[in-house]
Structure 1
Amino acid sequence: MSRRRAAVKRDVLADSRYGDKVVTKFINSIMLDGKKSLAESIFYGAMDLIKEKSGEEGYETFKKAIENIKPQLEVKSRRIGGATYQVPVEVRTVRQQALALRWLTTYTRNRKEYTMVERLANELIAASNNEGATIKKKEDTYKMAEANRAFAHYKW
């Protein structure tokens, strides 16, 4: 973190199909080695596969999954008098979105399906139904914050 001034937030362009900046951010998080067109085809292919499998619109499932994944609380390490405490803090909206997209990408890549399109579609369907690895990560984060609630008075 810079001591001189705050980092400049760069704004992304809305995606072509849905006109949503969150979709663009997610496509960028899927992207590896600068292959954006491949990442877009993975995402849009997953949206079409969700429509086939579940019958509901893929974009709506994506939005619902992101809302379900966003964490409300997390723990931050705080050093006080030689001891390090895990202090629970509320998560800002921008960080909630960033964590949700990061967790979704990570746990999608760890799934066992054959193609990335299938993995992403199944993980989004699971997350929209409040199940799956990304929801478990959110719940584990929340449990850690609840377990350390006694140190909440060290919040800064």
Structure 2
Amino acid sequence: MGFVPYTTLSSLRTLKCCRLMSMYPPHFAEPILKKDSEIINKKDVSHVPIKAAPNDLSDSIFYGVLKNKLLKYITKKGNGSLAKQLLTDTLETIKRTQIERLNLINAEKENVIIDTERILVNAIENSRPLLQLSEIKRGGVKYQVPIPLTEKKSYFLAMKWLLDAAREKDRKVHLPDKLAWEILDAAHGQGRVIKKKDDLHRQCESNRAYAHYRWS
């Protein structure tokens, strides 16, 4: 057996590690998950093999990015089917409530939203915080410094607050009913989640004098 250079062994190990990262060979093309956000190449690529899309992604009208994230936050102990059923019951409760409200109101029916996905998006957008307080120590004193949140963190906190507010209510009430009312309250700019966001923004506003400690 001849001598194998160390560089060759290193490159083989790197190639092997990269190969084990995916079950598909390197010449497989990435799948197009959302047709409205992907630029499709006009060249003929029908002969190129394509990787399979993840199970939780779809281009159907029933798929939503925020709904998928909320579904993952509801899931506990890997029980995804139960979480999906709970979210389905929640959206059904919201739909029934809005239809009942639409039938009871004689005027201004255009203000009642029936689309549950639109209500969910409005609730999450209204619950998103823009700032948070971070404890920073300067000169032996700890200051509560307001720091802007990233988009990903703000969406996470909004959905977490909605779920926490629903779970803190009476345990005798089913979770879809509690979560549906929290989402409806947040969509109309009221409720405990909106109050929690406003209180956080008020605290950040009162501590804005310490904002320069973020860079010092």
Distance across 2 between alignment mates of 1:12 and 1:71: 31
The structure-2 alpha-carbon separation of the partners of 1:133 and 1:17, relative to structure 1 and needing over 3 Å to count, comes to: farther
Instruction: Identify the structure with bigger relative contact order (alpha carbons < 8 Å, sequence gap 6+).
Output: 1
Unmatched 5+ stretches in structure 2: 1-53, 100-113
The alignment partner of 2:179 has SS state of helix
- Report the equivalent of 2:119: 61
* 1:147 lines up with 2:200 in the alignment: no
Would you say how many aligned residue pairs link Structure 1 and Structure 2? 146
- Report the equivalent of 1:78: 136
Using structure 1 for the length normalisation, give the TM-score: 0.86
Cα deviations across residues 56-95 of structure 1 (Å, max 9, x unaligned)?
Answer: 1211110000000000111111111111100111111111
Distance across 2 between alignment mates of 1:30 and 1:127: 18
Distance across 2 between alignment mates of 1:32 and 1:153: 40
Match of 1:98 among 156, 169, 194: 156
* Letter of the 2:210 counterpart: F
The worse-fitting range, judged by mean Cα deviation, of 57-66 and 14-23 is: 14-23
- Which protein has the larger Cα radius of gyration, Structure 1 or Structure 2? 2
Distance across 2 between alignment mates of 1:140 and 1:38: 33
- Report the equivalent of 2:197: 138
Distance across 2 between alignment mates of 1:12 and 1:69: 29
Using structure 2 for the length normalisation, give the TM-score: 0.63
Task: Provide the aligned C-alpha RMSD in A.
Answer: 1.9
- Report the equivalent of 2:37: none
* Letter of the 1:59 counterpart: E
